[in-house]
Structure 1
Amino acid sequence: MAVSLWVRADDGCRLWAASLGTGDPLVLCHGGPGLWDYFDDVAELLRATIRVVRWDQRGCGRSQLRGPYSVARSIADLDAVRDQLAGSRTALLGHSWGAHLALRYAMEHPDRVSHLIYVSGTGIDPGRDWHPHYERNLRLRLGDHLDRWEELRARARTPSEDREQAVLQWSADFADHHTALDHAQRMATPWLGVNEDCNRAVNADVKKEIAGDLAGRCRQLDLPVLIIDGAEDIRPRWAVDSLYEALPDAERVIFPGAGHVPWVERRDDFHRAVTTFLVRRR
């Protein structure tokens, strides 16, 4: 059973965290922004050989509802989690927005990161906007649920309708439409709500960062990086090409038959890729 813990950030904000398993630490950074930790399956998958550290980002899930919300603030909070629960140096795994957070943390503190696992991120290329492709693919993947999703999206919602809208949208993140809604329902249980203020502020901050020279900073990153993608992610995978090309020590795995959450649809392959990378690159 995971041990629930509390981390105190340098400004006093209380962050929920949990630790499970034995072995070298791996800190997980969930996506969003504005969501909460949904890595139950990953923690169970890796616990036999890895000590998995999970946490809810500031203002999200079980953590204290408190700003400010920015990439810099998220990096500082992650540093507090690393310091208090993982030790002087740790491996990082980030998913979606969390992949960007883990990458940026490694840029700021390369001496505190042993390995970086970048899962289903959206790259660093300011010249190729992936959002229109995502919006088109989302609508195609929603299929018969599109009308209901658009209706909910267009108006004020009750908390239960917030969850319904999120479940419909998240269902598009899975490749197999027969099981997609069930997977999305699991991700939304328990429903801890979306911090929309956090989402807007951090996304705006990421957009500003992407406009800068992140590729140049990636070329200076001297640590092993594993990029994991699902081939059927509705976010186009070419968005990650420039990141892969910029990193001096990177390998990339693309799982066919998987969408944005590859550890759900390619469980064994995901486990093998992560553990092999962490052991082989010690």
Structure 2
Amino acid sequence: MTEKQGVAPMTDAARIHWTALGERTGQPPVVLLHGGPGLPDYLGPVAATVADLAPVYRYDQRGTGRSPWYGRHTLARHVADLTELLDAWGAASAVLIGHSYGADLASRFCLAHPDRVAGMLLLCGPFVGDWRAGDRAARDRRMSAAQQSRLRALLGLARRTEDQEVELLTLSWFTDHADPERGWHWAAQDARQRRPVNWVMNRELGGAGRADPLDQHLDALRRCLPARVEILGGTEDPRPLSALEALALRLDVPLTRVDGAGHEPWLERPEAVREVLRGFVRGRG
């Protein structure tokens, strides 16, 4: 399968690195929006599951990976980036698949440009309402007291060595997975590959999301949704599935629950997630 890469200039002089997989034409492309915020793209394995059905684009959000940039991050600017990327790709509209923070970004893009969203699959997000207490409690249950203490100590350091940064990310991410042993392996691997983390971007976009929560726009989002929308969540994600259930009811869209999977369900239940993604891209969502 053919993979292409390129760099798209934005109107503010930022340059966004993108990757495309697949060559099938005659239907809107799929655009994958990775989470974080502040991480480089990691959705290559997800792209490979549907690239024979439609061209699949993904990109490193500005300030991450191969899209180096320094400046203030805003939700509006990240929405504008996706708009300009669709223009650069010659896509009048696209099927959006957003993971975690990427699901929030997809939703905000839909609010701003509903005519350019042919379909939207929200993968393990966006989490709205009072979900953080449940998330913290679930993570505490999955960590030993020593691990919790060590994580607090690492977070309290003004500066961290490379080894300390890897340790911090591993401790922060292994609880995302249902299986703690495999979760530790995946988290340790990701702690070395999904680097560097743009912590400034994380703080700025996190603060922007708290100042203007998506919760306040759900009625407007429901009115502008495309005909094809679905939410998918893992039953063992520490972020409570009940938050996605409430969101599905509020938006009046279907929710697929993936049993035995955490925040990256394509790792723990690859066949189940593949079936949902392929059905959605084919138009059966």
Same fold (TM over 0.5): yes
Q: Answer whether contact 2:128 2:215 (CA < 8 A) is retained.
A: no
Q: Answer whether contact 2:178 2:237 (CA < 8 A) is retained.
A: yes
Match of 1:267 in 2: 270
Q: Does 1:173 align with 2:176?
A: yes
Match of 1:118 in 2: 122
Cα distance, 1:42 vs. partner? 0.7
Q: Could you say what secondary structure the match of 1:43 adopts? A: helix
The count of aligned residue pairs is 278
Distance, in Å, in 2 between the alignment partners of 1:260 and 1:88 is 31
Distance, in Å, in 2 between the alignment partners of 1:159 and 1:8 is 32
Match of 1:95 in 2: 99
Q: Could you say what secondary structure the match of 1:187 adopts? A: helix
Which consecutive residues of structure 2, in runs of 5 or more, have no partner in the other structure?
Answer: none
Which consecutive residues of structure 1, in runs of 5 or more, have no partner in the other structure?
Answer: none
- Single out whichever of 207-216 and 45-54 deviates more from structure 2: 207-216
Match of 1:258 in 2: 261
Distance, in Å, in 2 between the alignment partners of 1:186 and 1:79 is 32
Distance, in Å, in 2 between the alignment partners of 1:137 and 1:88 is 42
Percent identity over the alignment is 32
Q: Answer whether contact 2:234 2:257 (CA < 8 A) is retained.
A: yes
Q: Could you say what secondary structure the match of 2:224 adopts? A: coil
Distance 1:191 1:259, change over 3 A: closer
Distance, in Å, in 2 between the alignment partners of 1:246 and 1:225 is 13
1:20-70 CA-partner distances (Å, limit 9, x unpaired): 123341111111111110112112222222321111111112112222201
Q: Could you say what secondary structure the match of 1:243 adopts? A: helix
Q: Does 1:158 align with 2:200?
A: no
Distance, in Å, in 2 between the alignment partners of 1:29 and 1:219 is 20
Q: Does 1:60 align with 2:61?
A: no
Aligned with residue 279 of structure 2, among 276, 279, 282? 276
1:124-182 CA-partner distances (Å, limit 9, x unpaired): 33xxx211221221122233633332322221311332122112211111101121122
Q: Could you say what secondary structure the match of 2:257 adopts? A: strand
Paired residue type of 1:233? D
Q: Answer whether contact 1:231 1:256 (CA < 8 A) is retained.
A: yes
Q: Answer whether contact 2:110 2:221 (CA < 8 A) is retained.
A: no
1:48-100 CA-partner distances (Å, limit 9, x unpaired): 22321111111112112222201101100111122212611110011111100
Paired residue type of 1:43? A
Match of 1:132 in 2: 133
Cα distance, 1:189 vs. partner? 4.0
Distance 1:208 1:241, change over 3 A: farther
Distance, in Å, in 2 between the alignment partners of 1:180 and 1:86 is 39
Match of 2:10 in 1: 9
Distance, in Å, in 2 between the alignment partners of 1:147 and 1:4 is 43
Match of 1:148 in 2: 150
Q: Does 1:192 align with 2:208?
A: no
Cα distance, 1:191 vs. partner? 4.3
- Single out whichever of 91-100 and 143-152 deviates more from structure 2: 143-152
Q: Could you say what secondary structure the match of 1:235 adopts? A: coil
Q: Answer whether contact 2:139 2:175 (CA < 8 A) is retained.
A: yes
Q: Answer whether contact 2:8 2:17 (CA < 8 A) is retained.
A: yes
Paired residue type of 2:13? G
Aligned with residue 241 of structure 1, among 240, 245, 248? 245
Q: Could you say what the CA RMSD is over the residues aligned between the two structures, in angstroms?
A: 1.9
TM-score by length of 2: 0.91
Distance 1:200 1:68, change over 3 A: same
- Single out whichever of 20-29 and 192-201 deviates more from structure 2: 20-29
TM-score by length of 1: 0.92
- Single out whichever of 41-50 and 104-113 deviates more from structure 2: 41-50
Q: Answer whether contact 1:221 1:247 (CA < 8 A) is retained.
A: no
